[in-house]
Amino acid sequence: MTYKANTINSMQNAIDQLSRPESARMVYMPQHGRSMPSVKVLSELVEKLREVIFPGYFGNASLHPENLKYHIGVNVDRIYRLLADQVLKGICFTCKAENSYRCEDCEDEALDKAAMLIERLPEIRRLLATDVKAAYLGDPAAKSQGEIIFSYPSIRAMTNHRVAHELYKINVPLIPRIISEMAHSETGIDIHPAAEIGEHFAIDHGTGVVIGETSKIGNNVKVYQGVTLGARSFPLDENGNPIKGIPRHPVVEDDVVIYANATILGRITVGKGSMIGGNIWVTKNVPPKSKIIQQRPLDQRYVDGAGI
């Protein structure tokens, strides 16, 4: 390929503009030397977590009781190392210091936090086992628990969430969010790592589900595709920036079912044992044992070619 002279000029010009410090600053170019977390490495990490949490389903090994421990051991080792490295990058990403601070000092913190996650893995497995059970009991189309573990997007999303939530609780920056977004991209289920979710949580189909940062969900709750637990408007500080951390998402108590595409907004409570019908917009508290559904639609005779 030969470049035309004016092409070389116009490319040169674009390169010059794009390299100007003020242009790079406009898009918040990170302080130099910061290397970013890697979505590819985090994907491997999550795959390894899945192998450890659900032994025998993922990875290419053939597990039996005698070799289980070796495989768990090696995978835990690898998880620890990958995670420590990524947590370190997450810490470096958010630290403010410029010259006086060496990110290498954060290494100890990263190693400790990676080890803390390892300690929580048995509990994460226990919680996910309740989610598998809930999915099985809630779906007549499911042939077995194994099918759910292997192929249901809800279990994939909840595995990422329960891991991300533990990392969130020990103040790991950025990484939990990336892990959540990976599940979001794969499944269409968007759960903020900070959201608190009880046992036996079921998500059916799941595409379009949104569960916001300060949501609290009890036990035995089931949501369908397109359900939003979101925020209404939020207060700004004196600089016009949103104030962080104010509870602004719903509390959903035990034994609630929320049908497809229901939008529930604000710090309201959906009371225990309630049934929320699909396609409704809920911004007020719902007492326990409520059943709320959309108004009946208008019913007309369709005239061919009339359009909607």
258 binds its own copies (CB under 8 A): no
Binding-residue total with its own copies (CB under 8 A): 162
199 binds its own copies (CB under 8 A): no
238 binds its own copies (CB under 8 A): no
100 binds its own copies (CB under 8 A): no
Structural contact between residues 242 and 208, judged by C-beta atoms closer than 8 angstroms: no
Q: Which of residues 259-278 bind its own copies (CB under 8 A)?
A: 259-263, 265, 273-275, 277-278
Q: Which of residues 17-76 bind its own copies (CB under 8 A)?
A: 17-19, 21, 23-24, 26-30, 32-38, 52-58, 60-74, 76
DSSP letters spanning 14-26 = HHHHHH-HHHHHH
Q: Output the six-digit token pair for 307.
A: 């359009």
Nearest-5° angle of CA 40, CA 43, CA 45? Answer: 115
| Minimum CB distance to its own copies, residue 68 (Å) | 5
Report the DSSP beta bridge partners of residue 257: 222, 275
Torsion sign across C-alpha atoms 175, 177, 181, 184: positive
Q: Which of residues 128-157 bind its own copies (CB under 8 A)?
A: 128-129, 132, 136-141, 143-147, 149-153
Among 43, 95, 109, 111, binds its own copies (CB under 8 A): 111
CA distance 245 to 217: 17
91 binds its own copies (CB under 8 A): no
196 binds its own copies (CB under 8 A): no
169 binds its own copies (CB under 8 A): no
Among 44, 97, 196, 283, binds its own copies (CB under 8 A): 283
2 binds its own copies (CB under 8 A): yes
190 binds its own copies (CB under 8 A): yes
240 binds its own copies (CB under 8 A): yes
Q: Which amino acid is at 188?
A: G
| DSSP structural state of residue 104 | G
Q: Which amino acid is at 258?
A: I
Torsion of CA 204, 207, 213, 216, to 10 degrees: -10
| Minimum CB distance to its own copies, residue 194 (Å) | 8
Among 45, 84, 158, 164, binds its own copies (CB under 8 A): 84
Q: Output the six-digit token pair for 210.
A: 């949104």
294 binds its own copies (CB under 8 A): yes
| Minimum CB distance to its own copies, residue 93 (Å) | 7
234 binds its own copies (CB under 8 A): yes
CA distance 288 to 266: 17
Grouping H, G, I as helix, E, B as strand and the rest as coil, residue 102 is: coil
CA distance 62 to 125: 20
| DSSP structural state of residue 173 | -
**Which H/E stretch holds residue 222?**
strand 222-224
| Minimum CB distance to its own copies, residue 203 (Å) | 12
Q: Based on CB atoms, which residue is closest to its own copies, 217 or 282?
A: 282
